[in-house]
Amino acid sequence: MIADLGFKATKSFLTACLVLFAVQGTAGIWDDGNIEEGQALFNANCASCHKVTNEVLAAPGLAGIADRWGASEELLVQWIQNPQGAAESGDSYIKSLVSRYVPTYGWMTAQAVSAEDVKNIMAYVQNPPDAAPVADSGSDCITVDELPIEEANNDSGVWFVMLLVLFLIIAMAAAGVNRSLTNASREKDGGALLEDLPYGQRVKMWAWENRVAVSLIGVFIVAYGAVLGYQGLMRVGVVEGYKPNQPIQFIHSVHVCENEVDCKYCHHSAYESKHAGIPSTNVCMNCHKAVKKGRRYGETEIGKIYEAIGFDATSGTYVDGEGKNGYASPQDTYDGDPIRWNKVHNLPDHVFFSHQQHVVVGGLQCQNCHGDVETYTVGRVAKVEDINQLVDKYPGLIELSKPTLTMGWCIECHNKAEIDLASSGYYEEIHHRLKDHLRGNEELRMYMEDDKITVKELGGWECAKCHY
Amino acid sequence: MMNIRNSIVLSAVATVLVATTGCVNNPDSSGLEYMPDMYRSPAVEAYVDYGQDPYQVGEEVASSQRMVQSARKPVAGTIAFHPEAMDFVMPYPYPNTVEGYEAAGLALASPLTQIGQAEIEAGQEIYTLMCTQCHGEEGKGNGALSRNGHIQGIPSYSDKLKDLPEGKMYHTLTYGKGLMGSHASQLSQKDRWLVIEYIKVLQQGGEMPEFDENGNVVKSASTEAGDAMAMNN
């Protein structure tokens, strides 16, 4: 309590000084400030809470500020330098401001800016130059315009088949026309007309006349069919390249590459559990509270996040007022429809796979299994050839040949991946025992012959490690 | 000319071909699989909400089950039990209000008992992965989001936030403050305290304190502040 009183006393003293100071330096705060300096000051000090439009970020927007404060120029400077002090002045506008915003956004923090600075800031706030388009960070990220547009359905195969059918029909029609023309010309010359045989018979005759070519083609077609059939069977259960449509056109490259958000920010449980997890909506809101528009889809896609979590973009508050700052309190009342992402990777139920084992203990990079996610839009199952291309970009990737997410792929990597036994406490016991081979334990010698320990040698090929 | 029967046969063949290639090329289908009930089994798995087998319980029951999330929150009022880390599972007593923030700043102190190289480096790793996109590598508020103009004016730890007490940091990480959202769903309580240890280093300018061979801090301003805190309680 005593401390509290002391605090108050210093504050009133400070306020007094500030008022004195302010009176001297604020002639005409609404005009003749330097817009450029104001902009720099604003971005450095105020932009994390205020916008120059009337959009609410973490505080009221400053558009039309001159109408609201008008003549109380000193008070405004005082407010910016020490809001709680200025509130003690008992000004009625400040009272209404405080009762309206402090319960939701808390007190504005005191700003270390001079009256001159405030003048420049106000010049900028009143006449903000048109916002320059957000520059691509000049890095080698794939830009939004280069990304492929998600199409609802790109059935190139269908067009191929349709073309083939069209071609057949034209060929047959042409044959028919050809026949009528020949007949017509023979009729004119008085020769014998072509026999009017049924279609099948004519084809048979034609085939017999060209039997060498036809049998060659036949053999070719049978062989081709067999190869295709074999390949088709080998694709059963292989999901490489699978990229379903998602309820929100999420773009990995914008987040991961352009804005340098690490995978862990969104898929943090990859480091702690079996699952890598899909981020919950409050994680998106950590940034999308401020980022309300995308360069590609404008407000539509980001609006779906707001819809799901119950956020009002214009007032900058959560609908139920409880999930303040994205913190989900037990009293949450908003009953929105959650975002239903479609699952992309999906191992069958009879397989156990743990991210933590591979990412934390094994030290593998996400790209080794998921490809170059920083160039993706929505998630997809990477193709193993594409992953092999990345070796230059991500040193240390293990090159594999079997399709991803098949058993052959897991096994192949377990045969190739080496383990650094000393790296973590996880292998202490095994490490200790393996060192025994130096003391003549023949049974263990075979493991150390090639001077490296693979996952397989530690049991990575045991059926029960993956199936139980 | 081509007779009608031929064209019927042809168009039938065409339809079948179109239909089959159509479903293989559909991006919303993962392709042919055998034993599909092993990929989408009725068992409850995180992130898989397929419900019971529609052949047995009917499509209606199955689809209503699909609408229920399989990932659940813990039962209200329960506390995780970690015998060796009970300090990090207790509910957070300060309310999500302005007063709660101030109170946390005055009274809340880190439950970490031992703060050495391991803890500070763990904090640094969390910071690098989770916070740099906004706060920047050195904590000056110039991360990529700020440079790209999305979130500006993020305060610098070594400047505006130099004297911020750890209790306020923890409160902000838990509930959020202004444009910084709550990170409670991404960081466990222990992770939050670990990253705060590294922020204290950044408040001092970002230079790692010296460690002795056991990984204990030799001398640094932040540990002194920490000790003072602990004594106040």
Please tell me the distance from the alpha carbon of residue A444 to that of residue A438, in angstroms, as a whole number. Answer: 9
Give the distance, in angstroms, between the CA of residue A176 and the centroid of all CA atoms in the same chain.
Answer: 57
- Say whether A325 and B175 touch across the interface (CB within 8 A): yes
CA A235 to chain centre: 28
Residues in chain B closer than 8 A to A229 (CB atoms): none
B residues 168..187 contacting A (CB < 8 A): 174-187
The full set of domains in chain A, from first to last, is 35-133 (1.10.760.10), 156-196 (no CATH)
**Mutation target vs A (from B7, B97, B152; most A CBs, 10 A cutoff):** B152
**Residue in B74, B97, B151 with CA at minimum distance from that of residue A321:** B97
The reply to whether A154 touches chain B by the CB within 8 Å rule is: yes
Task: Report the residue from B25, B150, B151 with minimal CB separation from A155.
Answer: B25
Q: What is the CA radius of gyration of chain B?
A: 28
Amino acid at A60: P
3-state helix, strand, coil in chain A (%, to 5): 55, 0, 45
**Tokens 């990412």 map to which residue?**
A359
Element (H, E) at A311: strand A311-312
Closest chain B residue by Cα to residue A281? B185
Q: Residues near A113 by Cβ (< 8 Å), separated by ≥ 6?
A: A41, A45, A80, A81, A121
Q: What is the pLDDT of residues B59-93, one digit of tens each?
A: 787 777 776 666 677 787 888 888 877 888 888 88
Closest CA to A113 of A78, A88, A89, A149: A78
Contacts A278 to B, Cβ<8 Å: 47
Rounded Cα distance, B233 and B230, in Å: 5
Q: Is the pLDDT of residue B219 over 70?
A: no
Whether A312 and chain B come into contact, CB under 8 Å, resolves to no
8 Å CB contact of A327 and B179: no
Condensed to tens digits (0 to 9), the pLDDT of residues A438-462 reads: 666 666 777 766 777 888 888 889 9
Q: Where are the alpha helices (DSSP H) in A192-269?
A: 199-209, 211-235, 252-253, 263-266
Q: What is the pLDDT of residues B174-189, one digit of tens each?
A: 988 888 888 988 998 9
Nearest by CB: B27 against A58, A243, A287? A243
Amino acid at B5: R
Q: Which of residues 151-170 of B touch A (CB under 8 A)?
A: 151-155, 160
CB-CB under 8 Å, A278 with B148: no
Three-state SS sequence of chain B: CCCHHHHHHHHHHHHHHHHHHHHHHCCCCCCCCCCHHHHCCCCCECCECCCCCHHHHCHHHHHHHHCCCCCCCCCCCCCCCCHHHHHHCCCCCCCCCHHHHHHHHHHCCCCCCCCEHHHHHHHHHHHHHHCHHHHCCCCCCCCHHHHCCCCCCCCCCCCCCCCCCHHHHHHHHHHCECCECCCCCCCCHHHHHHHHHHHHHHHCCCCCCCECCCCEECCCHHHHHHHHHHHHC
pLDDT reading at B51 higher than 70: no
Of the candidates B27, B56, B31, B29, the one whose C-alpha atom is nearest the C-alpha of residue B41 is: B56
- Predicted confidence band at B21 (pLDDT cuts at 50, 70, 90)? very low
Domains and CATH numbers, chain B: 93-226 (1.10.760.10)
Q: Please, what are the averages of pLDDT over each run of 10 residues along chain A (468 residues)?
A: 44 45 54 83 85 81 83 84 85 86 81 87 83 56 70 61 88 83 81 73 86 93 94 85 89 90 93 89 89 88 90 80 61 74 88 92 91 90 92 90 93 90 74 69 69 83 90
Window A:171-230, CB contacts with B under 8 Å: 172-173, 176, 199
Kindly give the interhelix angle for A73-81 and A2-25, rounded to the nearest 10 degrees.
Answer: 140
Q: Which residues of A107-137 are buried (b: 16+ CB within 10 A; e: fewer)?
A: ebbebebebbbbbbbbbbbbebeeeeeeeeb
Say how many CA atoms lie within 13 Å of A207 toward its Cβ.
Answer: 11
* Token couple for B226: 């920490």
Structure tokens at A350: 């009879």
Please enumerate in sequence order all residues whose Cβ is within 8 A of that of A213, keeping only pairs 6 or more positions apart, or say none: none
Q: Which of B193, B197, B187, B195 is nearest to B220 (CA)?
A: B197
Q: Do B31 and A238 touch (CB under 8 A)?
A: yes
Dihedral angle over CA of A265, A266, A268, A269, nearest 10? 170
Contact by Cβ (8 Å): A321, A311: no
CB count within 10 Å of CB B184 equals 18
User: Hey, is A317 helix, strand or coil?
Assistant: strand
**CB of B47 less than 8 A from some CB of A:** yes
Q: How many Cβ atoms from other residues are within 10 Å of residue B21's Cβ?
A: 18
* Segment of B158-167, B191-200, B204-213 carrying the highest mean pLDDT: B191-200
pTM over 0.80: yes
Beta-carbon contacts of residue B191 (< 8 Å; ≥ 6 apart): B126
Give me the pLDDT at residue A401, please. 92
Question: Distance between the two ends of chain A, CA-based, in angstroms?
Answer: 64
| A285 contact B CB<8A | yes
Give the residue from B185, B188, B232 with the most A CB atoms within 10 Å of its CB, the best one to mutate.
B185
Please check the confidence at residue B125 and state whether its pLDDT lies above 90: yes
Q: Report the pLDDT value the prediction gives residue A133, as an integer from 0 to 100.
A: 52
Distance, CA of A354 to CA of A68 (rounded, Å): 58
Taking the C-alpha atoms of residue B198 and residue B187, their distance in angstroms, rounded to an integer, is 15
* pLDDT of B123 over the 90 cut: yes
